[in-house]
Amino acid sequence: MVSRSDARAVDPGSELLRVDNISLSFGGVKALTDVSFDILRGEVRAIIGPNGAGKSSMLNVINGFYHPQEGEVWFAGEKRRNPKPHNIAYQGIARTFQNIALFKGMSTLDNIMTGRFTHMNQNLLMQALWRGPAEREEIANREKAEEIIDFLEIQAIRKTPVGRLPYGLQKRVELGRALAAEPELLLLDEPMAGMNVEEKEDMSRFILDVKDEFGTTIALIEHDMGVVMDISDRVVVLDYGKKIGDGTPQQVRSDQTVIDAYLGVAHDE
Amino acid sequence: MSPQFLFTIEVIANGLMAGVMYSLVALGFVLIFKASGIFNYAQGVMALFAAMTLVGIQNGQVPFSHLINAVFGTNIHHFGWNLPAIVAILITLVVMVLFAILVERLILKHLVNQEPIILFMATIGLAYFMEGFGDLMWGSEIKILDVGIPSGGSLWLEEKTIGWAAEGSNYYGMYIDKLDMIATVVAILLVISLTLFSQYTKTGRALRAVADDHQAALSVGISLRKIWVIVWTIAGFVALVAGVMWGAKSGVQFSLSLIALKALPVLILGGFTSIPGAIIGGLIIGVGEKLFEFTIGPLIGGATENWFAYVLALVFLVFRPQGLFGDKIIERV
Amino acid sequence: MFYRQAGDFKTSYRGDIQTFPLKQDRIGYYLVLAIAFLVVPFLLNDYWVSAVILPFLIFAIAALGLNILTGYCGQVSLGTGGFMAVGAYACYKLMTAFPEMNMFVVVLGSGIVTAAVGLLFGIPSLRIKGFYLAVATLAAQFFLVWLFNKVPWFYNYSASGQINAPERLMMGFAITGPNASPAARYLFCLVILVALAVVARNLTRGRVGRSWMAIRDMDIAAEIIGVNPLKTKLSAFAVSSFFVGVAGALFFSVYLGAVEVTEAFGINQSFLVLFMIIIGGLGSIFGSFAGAAFLVLMPVLLKNIMVGGLGWPTDIAAHIEFIIVGGLIVLFLIAEPHGLAQLWRIAKEKLLLWPFPH
């Protein structure tokens, strides 16, 4: 999987995404207030914070599901103008969901093939005919999908309807669907929620492998601090919709404001 | 006042009355939707079925007589008695309670936690079943329903209004059916009693609790299945009232269930969970389609009442999907 | 033992994604096709063609169409009857305006016109879902039927308000009009059905089909993968309406010959096709066939038993038919939401093991 490599080759460590002074509210409720941070190419960036801190809202802003009232999102050096989520997929951002959002009526393979959507472009007429370009495109993408299936070690459940799979495997299939898009930026919303220790280890290994083998930049939300400290390069901490910390795991861990937020020290207004 | 103006008022008044009828059916939809999230397509057929049963019981018809005659070669049709309207209504109510229990036992129990659209299609199946069942039980001919509600134009109103028009104009007074007026009063009483019921009785509170949050209601010990039976019973009762009014107006016949389909656009306008919404939606549709037929209808060939309600709902859906009284839907990921 | 997949290995992805991966299934498929094209035409008589076979072929096309929209893309439509009417009237206008036009072209054109109308009524689907959309499609149903009833241009100002199919030939054989032979009408519809079934299969196994199912299963996730919801839903509406329009055109021109719109394309037609895909199997090509066959055959069977066999009046048979159909719908939704197609799959899985179940 080396396509988009030209884009990625521009120095690892340069800025891939930046959010500037994002504020988002629903009615009168403020979900995010003046949040700014950046994500560099090739890093694992964790977003942490207590419940209701605005982490998921942040991901939803990044992949275009919510449009912030204030602030700017810059991706790959360009300012975004309220794009739709499906446009963002074409720009190279993929994600997984906190509550698994697989296509329940489809097999593992079909889920992953659906992840290849942005890489396929045969029109309705060609597909109706099938023989020729549509079939060739299908087969070429099937090869890519099989690479993902091999990588995630889910060959045995290739044709199983995902609704029948156990939770841990569903999480893995969902990661596979996101990877199938060959994204530049991969957003993971609590990839390890509800997993046991072994499953978490597997998932951590896959995340690090994705970063190393494909050079994908990863932003993730996670509650397990041990995991976050182990696998992330930099961490941004949110609390009540505001950024209260940003830096390497060591820096964040020793930051007094962050400790207070997690230990539940009373908020001064 | 010019006759044209008076005609317009008459059209609006008749529209309001027709709207009340739609509201009556829509009310049944809202009750069931609030309590169980089920969009009960069969509500219209329930009204038809209730009306048929009422007529059948009142006239002492033998249920399934056609089938019995066909199978055994007999020739029975009537028990030979006529029951007073009030007794027949009470027996019909018992039938509707039985119906509610059967629906819960045989259908709802097995479809808990299914997607709303599956439940919706199941109620379409139920509607078909009841249509066939009702016809088999009571015969499919058009029946006259007479429970003693006066009908025909109100002479009093005609005489009163004839003088309103300018001297010498061709105006014979306003024509409004007495039946429609009574239906309006009945509908108002029904809504008031439903409101009182849900506000001041224990069962009513339980109903509202379930409508608000199924899980929370379960956790305080409210039996969901019991609530469903109650709600379908009430919906059956509302269907009976609607069936009696519609039936008295235009005879008990299959087209009644088609008219009841118009409750669907009513709900789109009023929102699926709002009782005032159902009523105002019904009135808007009633007045709207009568006015449209009166003003634009002649220009495009008439009979626009067939589709006006649906197209209005369609337009509404595009611009305000949550209905008049619904909250704006915020989608969460 | 006799029906098995062991030893039937796939060495290419192309082999793996074909419609019938099992060799025995493939042979069975070609056998059915051969019988349908080479044997059945010689066995036909008028009764079978007009009571069972033509309705089956035509409703199978409509069911395929609705299944694409409802079964694959998850958008419920109660407007099938109205869209069939569009196909029928488009067919009539094309037949009368261009008498020389080949009937395949006429039917194709009717489908395209219907697709355009379907596209129009599909626009609200971007903002509304589930039964809200079902109500919106009711608007299509009632409005379209009214339109064909009220605007004389559609029925060429005929006094009766009916439309009548003039005679048209295909390779020298009449396929419409009173002189059309059962075999010619049958073959014409069969060719179209087979071609459209292949198209439906091709669309549903590839990129478009997956995007439909993605929207059906989890629309938000689909959008984030790059699926444009409006485009996807509209494509489902267009393709579905195309199929339904073709079915309507055939229903009018080849099957009935003369049509009065409120009778032939009323709301009950919409429900009939919906029931076919529920009983047959939502999201299944085979299910569309099975459902159409079931609901075409059942009334004929009931009528033969009750009216022909027991001598009951026809209205009782009709009522019992309603009871059975309604009951079956509920039963299938409760017990087997994937319909006859799923029962067939289970039967085949059992057969793979038979007679050594362990």
Encode pLDDT of C143-154 as tens digits: 999 899 989 999
Interface of B with C in 176-215 (CB under 8 A): none
Minimal-distance CA residue of chain A relative to C202: A128
Encode pLDDT of B177-232 as tens digits: 788 888 888 888 888 888 888 788 888 888 888 877 777 888 888 888 888 888 89
Instruction: Give me the number of domains chain C comprises.
Output: 1
- Please give the mean pLDDT across all residues of chain A: 89
Burial of C31 (0-12, 13-18, 19+ CB in 10 A): exposed
- pLDDT at position A8 is 47
Question: Which among B107, B116, B317 has CB closest to C136?
Answer: B317
Q: Would you call C326 and B132 a contact, using CB atoms and an 8 Å cutoff?
A: yes
Of B78, B29, B81, B83, nearest in space to B54 by CA: B83
Confidence of residue A264 (pLDDT cuts 50, 70, 90): low
- pLDDT at position B299 is 83
CA distance B100 to B43: 12
Is B117 an interface residue toward A (CB < 8 Å)? no
Question: Which among A63, A106, A124 has CB closest to C217?
Answer: A106
- Residues on chain C bordering chain A, Cβ-to-Cβ distance under 8 angstroms: 12-14, 17, 199, 202-203, 206-208, 210-211, 213-214, 216-218, 220-229, 235, 239, 283
Q: Would you call B124 and C220 a contact, using CB atoms and an 8 Å cutoff?
A: no
Of A153, A234, A223, nearest in space to A192 by CA: A223
Does C214 have pLDDT greater than 60? Answer: yes
Encode pLDDT of A40-74 as tens digits: 999 999 999 888 889 999 999 998 989 999 999 99
Confidence of residue B273 (pLDDT cuts 50, 70, 90): confident
- Cβ neighbours of residue B81 closer than 8 Å, sequence gap 6 or more: B60
CB C53 within 8 A of CB C216: no
Q: Would you call B317 and C138 a contact, using CB atoms and an 8 Å cutoff?
A: no
Confidence of residue B170 (pLDDT cuts 50, 70, 90): low
Q: Compute how many other C-beta atoms are within 10 angstroms of the C-beta atom of residue C255.
A: 21
Encode pLDDT of B87-145 as tens digits: 989 999 999 999 989 988 898 888 877 777 788 889 989 999 999 999 999 888 888 88
CATH number of this structure's domain A1-92+185-269: 3.40.50.300
Look at residue C142 and tell me if it is in a domain: yes
Minimal-distance CA residue of chain B relative to C311: B70
- pLDDT at position A2 is 41
- pLDDT at position A269 is 42
CA distance A165 to A152: 15
Q: At what angle do helices A167-180 and A197-209 cross, to 10 degrees?
A: 10
Mean pLDDT value of segment B288-312: 84
- pLDDT at position C357 is 63
Look at residue C344 and tell me if it is in a domain: no
CA distance B229 to B251: 29
Chain A: give the shortest CA distance to residue B331, in Å.
Answer: 9
CB C326 within 8 A of CB B131: yes
Question: Which among A106, A138, A142 has CB closest to C213?
Answer: A106
Chain C: give the shortest CA distance to residue B117, in Å.
Answer: 6
Is B302 an interface residue toward C (CB < 8 Å)? yes
Confidence (pTM): 0.89
CA distance C219 to B331: 11
DSSP class of A105: T
Structure-token match 């459902």, residue found: C291
Q: Would you call C225 and A138 a contact, using CB atoms and an 8 Å cutoff?
A: no
Does A261 have pLDDT greater than 90? Answer: no
How many degrees, rounded to 5, is the angle at CA B185 between CA B179 and CA B190?
A: 120
Chain A residues within 8 A of C225 when measuring between CB atoms:
86, 89, 94, 114-115, 117-118, 177, 181
Cis peptide bond N-terminal to C355, omega within 30: yes
Structure-token match 């049944």, residue found: B28
Encode pLDDT of A10-47 as tens digits: 577 889 999 999 999 988 888 999 999 999 999 999 99
Instruction: Specify the range with the lowest mean pLDDT, choosing from A101-110, B62-71, C37-46, C113-122.
Output: B62-71
Encode pLDDT of C119-135 as tens digits: 998 888 877 777 778 87
Interface of B with A in 255-314 (CB under 8 A): none
Q: Would you call C329 and B125 a contact, using CB atoms and an 8 Å cutoff?
A: yes
φ/ψ (deg, to 5) at A65: -75, -35
Chain A residues within 8 A of B330 when measuring between CB atoms:
26
Interface of B with C in 41-80 (CB under 8 A): 66-67, 70-71
Q: Would you call C225 and A127 a contact, using CB atoms and an 8 Å cutoff?
A: no
Mean pLDDT value of segment C293-306: 91
Chains adjacent to B (≥3 CB pairs closer than 8 angstroms):
A, C
Fill in the amino acid letter for B204.
Answer: G
DSSP class of C67: I
Residue C143 domain boundaries: 22-273
> C281 versus B111: which is more confidently predicted?
C281
Does B168 have pLDDT greater than 70? Answer: no
For strands A78-79 and A93-95, give the pairing. unpaired
Chain B: give the shortest CA distance to residue A242, in Å.
Answer: 20
Size of interface A-B (CB pairs under 8 A): 5
Helix (H, G, I), strand (E, B) or coil at B17: helix
Q: Where in chain A is the domain with CATH 3.40.50.300?
A: 1-92+185-269
Q: Would you call C224 and A89 a contact, using CB atoms and an 8 Å cutoff?
A: yes
Instruction: Specify the range with the lowest mean pLDDT, choosing from A52-66, B257-271, C144-158, C224-238.
Output: B257-271
CB A221 within 8 A of CB A56: yes
CA distance B33 to B211: 8
Angstrom distances, CA of residue C153 to CA of B89, C118, C147: 50, 21, 10
